[in-house]
Amino acid sequence: MTALIDSIGIVGAGHIGSSIARAVRQRGLARSIAIADASDTVCERVAALDLADAVSTDAAIVGDCDAVILCVPVGSMGAVGEIVGPRLKPGAILTDVGSVKAAVIAALAPHVPAHAHLVPAHPVAGLEHSGPDSGLAELFVNRWCIITPPPDADKAAVAKIEALWRGMGSNVEVMTPEHHDRVLAITSHVPHLIAYNIVGTASDLEKVTEKEVIKFSAGGFRDFTRIAASDPVMWRDIFLNNREAVLEMLGRFNEDLAALQRAIRWGDGEALLKLFTRTRAIRRGVIEAGQANAVPPVAIGPQADPGKPVAARRRAKA
Amino acid sequence: MTALIDSIGIVGAGHIGSSIARAVRQRGLARSIAIADASDTVCERVAALDLADAVSTDAAIVGDCDAVILCVPVGSMGAVGEIVGPRLKPGAILTDVGSVKAAVIAALAPHVPAHAHLVPAHPVAGLEHSGPDSGLAELFVNRWCIITPPPDADKAAVAKIEALWRGMGSNVEVMTPEHHDRVLAITSHVPHLIAYNIVGTASDLEKVTEKEVIKFSAGGFRDFTRIAASDPVMWRDIFLNNREAVLEMLGRFNEDLAALQRAIRWGDGEALLKLFTRTRAIRRGVIEAGQANAVPPVAIGPQADPGKPVAARRRAKA
C-alpha cells in the first residue's frame, strides 16, 4: 500500500492529535509521523505509546513535513503558526482541527508562505477525555470532517486533506468558515456552554448539597457532567474565538427558554407537550444518520475518568 | 427462597413498570404479578412478553394485591388512585415511581383508606426509551431509590418498600417530598428542560438546516437529543407538577448563564476557565459514585430508537 502522504507532522498530542497519529499509523496513511507537544510529560507519553517516529517539545520538528496538522487549542494556533509557517517547504500543506474556523484562519493565514497551502479542517468527533493516552484510532470513523478552504485554495491540496480524512474513516463536507462557525455554535458550542453552566449552578446551591447532586445524577444530570468534563482551555478558546455565533445562538436559546419557563408558570401543558413531541423526531434523525453513538462501544473503557492522570485512571474501579 | 411480597400489582407497563415486573420476576421478589395498563396494545405486549400472571386494561385488577406500584405519568396518579385506592385491602401498600413527590402525595393520599398504607418512592433510573419492550431487569441496579414517607407512615410498610427496592438492586435513601422535589429539579427536571429547549432551538433556525444539525450532532448536540427523546407526556406532567422547584432552579440557571454570556461578550477568559475547571471535579464525583454509566452496557442495544414502534425498532440498523 502506498502512503497517501510521505511525512505527517502533528502539533499537539492530546485526545485528537493522538487519535490522528493512531489512525494514520494503523491505516498506513503516511510513511512517517513527527509529533510536537509543548509539554514534556505529553512527549514522554507519546514516546512510551510509540505514536510517532520523532517527538519533540519544539514545534520546529514538524517544519519539513509534507502535511502539518495543528491539534492545539484554538487560542494557540497563531503562536504555533508563527513557528511552523515560515519553515514549511514548497507544496507543504498546513491544516488544523480547530472547532472554530474563521478565527483560526485569521490567525494562521499570515504565517503561511506563498509556496505552501492552508487547508483548515475540523473533524466533528471526540470524547470528553484529554491527553495522549485517550486517543482512539477509530475516533473518526463514520464522523464528519468539515473542510473550510479559502476561496483561492489549491485544489490538489484540498483533495489531499480530504483523502486523509476519508482515509481515517470520516465523511467529508466542504463549507465556508462562517457557515461552519454558525453550525458548530448550535450543535456543539452552546450545548457545551449550557452543560458547563448547569453543572456550575448545581454545585453552587445551598439547599441541595453537591453530594446529593452527584448521588442522584442518574436522572439526567449525569450526561451534562460528562460534557462539562471536556478540556477547559480548549473550550475557553472556542468561546472567545466564536463569540458572535455563540452569542447569536445563545440569544435564540434564551428566548425559547423564556417561553418554556412561561409555559410552566402558567400551566400551559399543550405548549410543553408540543415541543417534547417535536424533539423526538430530531433524535430519530440522529439515529438514522448513524450519529447516535459516541464511538464503537468496544473502544471506550467502562467509566474512564477524564480529569485524573493516566495512572490514577488505570487504577480507578469501574 | 421466600418471596418478599405475596402479590404485586403494577399500574402502567411502560419503561419503568415493565422493568419492575422483570426485576421482580427475575429475583423472585413476589409470588404473583398483576399488571394493568390503559392501552390495549401495551397489554398485548405485556402478555406476549409474559411479564405478569394477570393483565388487564382495568386498573381494578390490582385491587387485591399486597403492594400496588403506580407507574403512570405524574398527572395521572390521582385518577388511578381513585380507582385503586378504595379497593386496597387491609394492610396493603400503595406506592409509586413518580418523579415528583409532593404533588403525587397530594393526589394519592385522599384515596388511600385508613387500613392501607401510602409509601411514595422514586427510583432515580431509566433511559429515554418508552413502552413495555424497553424494560430491563437490571435497570435499578446500583441506582438510588428515594422513599418519601408521610410523617405518620407505618414503619413496617416503609421497610417493606425499602426491601423491595433493595431486592431489585437499588440503594435506598429516605427524605421529605419537598427536599426530593428540589433535588430532582436540579439533577433531572431542569437538565431535561434545557435539553428539550436546545433541540427545539436548533430545529427552528433559518441559517442552519435541520439536516446539518443532525449531521454534525457528534459535537455535543447528540447527547441532548437523547435526553430530549424522553416520553413527552411523562415530562409535561413533571414540569406542571414540580413548578415551584423547577422555576426556582431555572432562575439560578438563567442567572449563571447570563454571567457566562457576559464573560464571552467581554472576553473574560479567566472566568470561563475557572468554571470549566471546577465542573470537572463534579464529573469525577459522579464517576467515583458509580453513577457515570446509564446501565450495564450489555443491557442496551447499540442504537435503539425511542420514538418508533417496537417492530420498526427491531428492523432498524445499528
Give tens-digit pLDDT for A219-266. Answer: 899 999 999 999 999 999 999 999 999 999 999 999 999 999 999 999
CA distance, residue A51 to nearest chain B CA (Å): 25
Tell me the CATH number for domain B179-291+301-311.
1.10.3660.10
Please determine, for residue B301, whether its predicted confidence score (pLDDT) is greater than 70: no
Please state the domain extents for chain B.
Answer: 5-175, 179-291+301-311
Nearest Cα to Cα of residue B196 among A144, A176, A59, A273 = A273
CA distance, residue B135 to nearest chain A CA (Å): 16
Give tens-digit pLDDT for A1-30. Answer: 578 999 999 999 999 999 999 999 999 999
Give tens-digit pLDDT for A85-107. Answer: 999 999 999 999 999 999 999 99
**Nearest Cβ partner for B220 among A191, A286, A287:** A191
- pLDDT, residue A18, reads 98
Please determine, for residue A313, whether its predicted confidence score (pLDDT) is greater than 50: no
**Whole-number mean pLDDT of chain B?**
91
Please determine, for residue A44, whether its predicted confidence score (pLDDT) is greater than 50: yes
CATH of A179-311 among 3.40.50.300, 2.30.30.90, 3.30.160.250, 1.10.3660.10:
1.10.3660.10
Q: CB under 8 Å to A245, separation ≥6 — which residues?
A: A181, A182, A184, A185, A189
* CB atoms inside a 10 Å sphere around CB B1: 6
- pLDDT, residue A23, reads 98
For testing contact with chain B, the best of A140, A192, A209, A222 (most B CBs within 10 A):
A222
Above pLDDT 90, what percent of chain A? 86
Tell me the ipTM for this assembly.
0.88
**Nearest Cβ partner for B144 among A195, A216, A290:** A216
Do B179-291+301-311 and B5-175 have the same topology in CATH?
no
User: Which chain B residues are within 8 Å of A207, Cβ to Cβ?
Assistant: 179, 182
In degrees, rounded to 5, the angle at the alpha carbon of residue A65 between the alpha carbons of residues A59 and A70 is 50
What's the rounded mean pLDDT across residues A135-140? 96
What's the rounded mean pLDDT across residues A284-294? 86
CA distances from A293 to B141, B197, B245, B303 (A): 23, 21, 33, 7
Q: pLDDT band at residue B318, thresholds of 50, 70 and 90?
A: very low
Q: pLDDT band at residue A295, thresholds of 50, 70 and 90?
A: low
Question: B194 and A198 in contact by Cβ < 8 A?
Answer: yes
Min mean pLDDT across A253-262, B43-52, B254-263, B303-312 is at B303-312
What's the rounded mean pLDDT across residues B306-311? 37
Rg (CA), chain B: 21
Above pLDDT 90, what percent of chain B? 86
Q: Was domain B5-175 assigned CATH 3.30.2130.10?
A: no
Q: Quote helix, strand, coil % in chain B, to nearest 5.
A: 55, 10, 35
Give tens-digit pLDDT for B230-239. Answer: 999 999 999 9
- pLDDT, residue B311, reads 37
User: Which chain B residues are within 8 Å of A307, Cβ to Cβ?
Assistant: 280-281, 283-284
What's the rounded mean pLDDT across residues A42-50? 98
